Each structure stands twice: as structure tokens, then as C-alpha cells.
Amino acid sequence: MNLILASSSERRIELLKRITEKFKVIPSNFDEKKIEFKSNVPEYVMTLAEGKARDVEGKITERKNTFIIGCDTVVAFENIILGKPKDENDAFRILKMLSGNIHNVYTGISILDLSSGRNKIDYMCTEVKFSNLTDEMINKYVYSGECLDKAGAYGIQGNAAIFVESINGCFYNVVGLPLNKLNKMFGEMGINL
């Protein structure tokens, strides 16, 4: 089997390695700005995941027994998508918004089977509750620089772990690749990772 991850995310690569070592990484150049958010977060992340997988599909010549995994993860608070912060001030604003509140992390997954043309698409949602954060805590985290390349301005697997009061759902989804969901989707396609 030729398995391709359409992402250069170090976190996704590390997570996928937990269930298989046999995959290639081909980053997607899909322009996410082409997709308009129409107040339906699951539909949005699944559309982005499929777009990323389809973008990489165009780069593949060997189609037999080839599968492409496309993913997209977003943080949503009160139906507002909180993407990667533009700068440190934006990161502070986002974390202040999440402080003491519950937000949702959604990951869309698209698995393209290039042999058959089948495409399995699904999503996972995890509820995350943050403790009340002081400005000092937020500033310390923001100035660490860890937040700038992460949706919602935090990485649960890093120093922001201390912000998380509770989690309802898949931890790995919050990191960026829900392994149980991915494994089930492949199982439904008759593939045993």
C-alpha cells in the first residue's frame, strides 16, 4: 500500500507514525482561502480536508493501491473559527477569548483511494475547557512563540497543556489527527493499518 499524508505538520507526521511507519509526506498547496466559511464547521473542515487531498492527488502518478490522507483542524468558539494568530497581539486576543470558556476543536479527514476513486470523508469534534487565565499566564505563553503556528493560538501537547481544565473527546484530535477516527475510516474501507 502507498500511503500519503497531504500535510507537512510535524504533529500529524508524529501521530501517524504511531500507527504506521509506511507513508510518504507530500504537502498540499491547497488555497484554503478559496473556501468560504458558511457557519457549518464540520462541513467546512471536511471541505478543506478534501481540497488538500485532491491537491496532492494531482501530483501522484502511481494510482494502484494508493491512499491519500487530507486533514484540516480548526478551533471554533461560539461558531467563530479561530485560525492561526496573525501576530502576538492576535494570539493574546484569542487566548483571552478562550480563557474560562469551552471551545471546540474540529478535524476534517479525507481519505482518497486512487485505485477505485472512492473518497471517505468525516470529521471529529472535541470539546476543550480552559481554566481562567491571567494576563501574565497568557503573555508568558505568547512570548514563548509556541502559539504562532497553531490554530486557536495554542498547542495542547506543549506548554499550553496547563490551560486545559477538561477535555471531552479525542485528545489526538486536538493535536491535529484523531487516530481512532482515522483507523475506523480505513477499516470501513476494508484497510487494516
Write the DSSP string, 39-64: S-HHHHHHHHHHHHHHHHHTT----T
How does pLDDT run across 38-57, given as a tens digit for each residue? 999 999 999 999 999 999 99
Provide the pLDDT for residue 62: 86
Rama region for 99: left / alpha / beta (φ>0; ψ in -120 to 50; rest): beta
Question: For residue 115, what are the β-bridge partners?
Answer: none
At 193, the pLDDT band (50, 70, 90 cuts) reads confident
How does pLDDT run across 128-166, given as a tens digit for each residue? 999 999 999 999 999 999 999 898 999 999 999 999 999
At 83, the pLDDT band (50, 70, 90 cuts) reads confident
pLDDT at 92 over 90: yes
134 neighbors 67 (Cβ within 8 angstroms):
no
How does pLDDT run across 159-186, given as a tens digit for each residue? 999 999 999 999 999 999 999 999 999 9
Provide the pLDDT for residue 149: 87
| Residues classed as catalytic | 72
Alpha-carbon distance of 33 to 156, in angstroms, equals 25
What structural domains and CATH numbers belong to the chain?
2-188 (3.90.950.10)
pLDDT average, residue stretch 4-23: 94
How does pLDDT run across 16-31, given as a tens digit for each residue? 999 999 999 999 999 9
pLDDT at 110 over 90: yes
At 117, the pLDDT band (50, 70, 90 cuts) reads very high
What is the DSSP pairing of strand 80-82 with strand 102-113? unpaired
Provide the pLDDT for residue 44: 97
% of the chain beyond a pLDDT of 70: 100
